[in-house]
Structure 1
Amino acid sequence: MDTAPAARTRVAITERTLRTDRWWAAPLFTALGLAAFVVYATIRSFMREGYWAAEYHYLTPFYSPCLSESCVPGSSHFGTPIGELPEFIPLAFLSLPFLLGFRLTCYYYRKAYYRSVWFAPPACAVTEPHARYTGETRLPLIVQNAHRYFFYAALLITVINTYDAIAAFAGGFGLGNIILLVNVSLLWCYTLSCHSCRHVTGGRLKHFSKNPVRYWIWTQVSRLNVRHMQFAWITLGTLVVTDLYVWLVSTDTIPDLRFIN
């Protein structure tokens, strides 16, 4: 007869919290930061203006790739195989869902919004509102297991963003080129520092000594992985800065600082 005590589904904390510090500050600022980006990105994705600076060949990442006939001339680097789109569909509708899926299922972002939005739990030694815990075994959290597949899509989109940044040099060299290059470089750091990338490069290996190339790649990815959280937040900022700069330049609100015309 099994005499082992029954496992608890939740840690029994009778008090609301055992913390004496401002434990709520971190989840609050995290929620505000994520909400600010979501609001900005959503508005910009549906605006359909200020995304292509034709004179300098600047294309914002929020509209890349632009494959519809609704795209302004010159912004479709890969042609327009898709016809006109209704106003309620973003022009980058093929890439945005995958990028959203990649960010939502990212290991760091899970920690961020589990604590700040889902309150599971909001902080250590703080009571959470959920009576049961099913983990990532049921909808909607079971979708988190698709992270590795979103990684492959994000990798392809980062390649496209890299092409956009390089193609912009056809219009000369200005501050916008630097912003685009810095943004895509940091996007590479965020994408390659992903835990799934680390597993792809070094996972399932029993002997690193027999796979020196993969071991070297795994080592470099592991170095980036340590800073995955920082890259996750930095790239949210660089995406906004890049999009905002292209928006302001394309609408002639500010001039582009030119180095070579």
Structure 2
Amino acid sequence: MTTTATRPGGPRRRAAISAKTLRTDRWWLPPLITVIGLGAWVAYATIRVFMHKWYWVEDFHYLTPFYSPCVTERCVPEAAHFGRFLPGWWIIPDAAMTLPFLLLFRLTCYYYRKAYYRAFWLSPPACAVPDGHKTYSGETRFPLVGQNLHRYAFYAAVIISLINTWDAVLAFRSPEGFGFGLGNVILVGNVVMLWAYTLSCHSCRHIAGGRLKHFSKHPVRYAFWTFISKLNVRHMQLAWITLGTLALTDFYVMALSAGWINDLRFIN
């Protein structure tokens, strides 16, 4: 099939191109890396969530974020900072009150939409590469209409970040009182990165100043909006960094709880 284009002097015929894309670079590599990275993280997190063990270090009050807050009857009493009010069935995660909201926050995140749309749904896999689907209705039908819940998931993520911050503060305890070790560095570092990712969210930026018509009349909100805008340009990097810090924090707590290693202590 050929197409025509109008020009002075008559129509001009275009060559028929059978190739789906003319890109000759390795456009498929970023989606492949995303599939491997996200797939590996989801597999690790799923296994850990349903292991129901090695999540608490009693001597130093280390609690992995994958089990925070621990609210099932199966939880160690000392790790259940907000009570144990859910049944201890295997199918129920110990952090069942927060994990669904964290999952929703990540799934509806603007960056993650791009990542898994391209990598898993091939919609499209890269610029100038045809979509893997014949039709596309946008985010107007189920299940993609749920992407509109991102702002509400952001509010939940803020509360969860506060809980993780409280866990990090409680971890500065040891049998002798105040204590400080490598575990504290990892827990605090993870919390800082989680706050950076949460605050760099596009919804947070819009809430801070997206609807203001006169920044000069709202200097505090403008300052906050400016700060968030600087974080926002790093939202993609922070999304991946926090996946790394979450896995590192969980693995370190697991290794301590299982007795594989000892915590490097600086004070007590």
Question: Does TM-score exceed 0.5, indicating one fold?
Answer: yes
Counterpart residue number, 1:57: 61
Shift of 1:17: 1.6
Matched, 1:126 2:129: yes
The separation in 1 between residues aligned to 2:166 and 2:132, in whole angstroms, is: 46
1:211 partner amino acid = H
1:206 partner amino acid = K
Counterpart residue number, 1:220: 227
For residues 37-64 of structure 1, the C-alpha deviation after alignment (integer angstroms, 9 at most, x for no partner) is 1000000000001100011100000000
Runs of at least 4 residues of structure 1 off by over 6 A?
none
Matched, 1:67 2:71: yes
Matched, 1:143 2:163: no
Work out which of the residue numbers 204, 214, 221 in structure 1 matches 2:211: 204
- Are the equivalent residues in 2 in contact too, given 1:15–1:127 (CA < 8 A)? no
- Unaligned runs of at least 5 residues, structure 1: 1-12
Alignment of 1:97-136 (within 5 A): 97-136=100-139
Matched, 1:32 2:36: yes
Work out which of the residue numbers 72, 76, 79 in structure 1 matches 2:80: 76
1:187 partner amino acid = L
The separation in 1 between residues aligned to 2:262 and 2:77, in whole angstroms, is: 21
- Are the equivalent residues in 2 in contact too, given 1:165–1:181 (CA < 8 A)? yes
Shift of 1:204: 1.2
SS in 2 for 1:56: coil
Work out which of the residue numbers 179, 199, 202 in structure 2 matches 1:195: 202
The separation in 2 between residues aligned to 1:83 and 1:116, in whole angstroms, is: 36
The separation in 1 between residues aligned to 2:239 and 2:249, in whole angstroms, is: 16
- Are the equivalent residues in 2 in contact too, given 1:53–1:246 (CA < 8 A)? yes
Work out which of the residue numbers 229, 240, 243 in structure 1 matches 2:236: 229
The RMSD of aligned alpha carbons is 1.0
The separation in 2 between residues aligned to 1:168 and 1:33, in whole angstroms, is: 30
1:106 partner amino acid = C
Shift of 1:79: 2.2
SS in 2 for 1:47: coil
Counterpart residue number, 1:5: none
For residues 132-187 of structure 1, the C-alpha deviation after alignment (integer angstroms, 9 at most, x for no partner) is 11010001111101000000000000000000000000221110000000000000
- Are the equivalent residues in 2 in contact too, given 1:175–1:258 (CA < 8 A)? yes
TM-score (norm 1): 0.93
Counterpart residue number, 2:159: 156
The separation in 1 between residues aligned to 2:153 and 2:86, in whole angstroms, is: 26
Shift of 1:73: 2.5
- Unaligned runs of at least 5 residues, structure 2: 1-16
Counterpart residue number, 1:249: 256
Work out which of the residue numbers 19, 35, 38 in structure 1 matches 2:23: 19
Counterpart residue number, 1:9: none
TM-score (norm 2): 0.91
| Higher Cα Rg, which structure | 2
The separation in 2 between residues aligned to 1:147 and 1:207, in whole angstroms, is: 26
Shift of 1:128: 2.0
Q: Choose between structure 1 and 2: higher strand proportion.
A: 2
The separation in 1 between residues aligned to 2:136 and 2:18, in whole angstroms, is: 18
SS in 2 for 1:182: helix
- Are the equivalent residues in 2 in contact too, given 1:154–1:191 (CA < 8 A)? yes
The separation in 2 between residues aligned to 1:83 and 1:76, in whole angstroms, is: 11
The separation in 1 between residues aligned to 2:144 and 2:86, in whole angstroms, is: 35
SS in 1 for 2:89: coil
SS in 2 for 1:132: coil
